[in-house]
Amino acid sequence: MADHQEASVTLLSAPASVTTARRYVSDVLAEWGLPAGAERADAVLLIVSELATNAVLHTFGQSPTFTVDLQLDRDEQLRIGVTDSHPRRPQRLPAAVQQDNGRGMVIIRWLTAESGGRLSVTPTAEGGKTVWIALPWKVADCS
């Protein structure tokens, strides 16, 4: 297996695409040695779901598509990036107790920190942004 691998998919900015993004990432992770159902895989898939949901819901129709990028440096890190064309950086929204949304970034930050990773946001040349999650990756974690 290669020491560096990359995968990417661009999807329409629609609610159904969140499921497609999650399935795509699950398939790629399995190819890279992280089977579905592994604790680490579940955390990555939840992060992808939340990032994709944010790209669909919080771009206010200004991003017709979003892209999910995966980069694996074996025995170092897994990077997950979700790019959209809306310039606004992700924000923590106040979540009322009975509100169903507004917790995505809190969940992403918590899962990232719990996994020993880090979150960053970079602007794109086209005026949008990519939200990156970098997580430690060891081959031993995948067994």
Question: What pLDDT tens digit does each residue of the chain (143 aa) get?
Answer: 568 999 999 999 999 999 999 999 999 999 998 888 888 899 999 999 999 999 998 776 788 999 999 999 987 999 999 999 988 887 665 555 445 555 677 888 898 999 899 999 999 999 999 999 999 987 555 55
Residue 56, CB half-sphere, CA atoms under 13 Å: how many? 20
Q: pTM of the prediction?
A: 0.86
Q: Are 129 and 122 in contact (CB under 8 A)?
A: yes
CA triple 131-33-31, angle to 5 deg: 75
With the C-alpha atoms ordered 30, 35, 37, 41, is the resulting torsion angle positive or negative? negative
Largest interatomic CA distance in the chain: 47
Q: Which two tokens stand for residue 10?
A: 């661009």
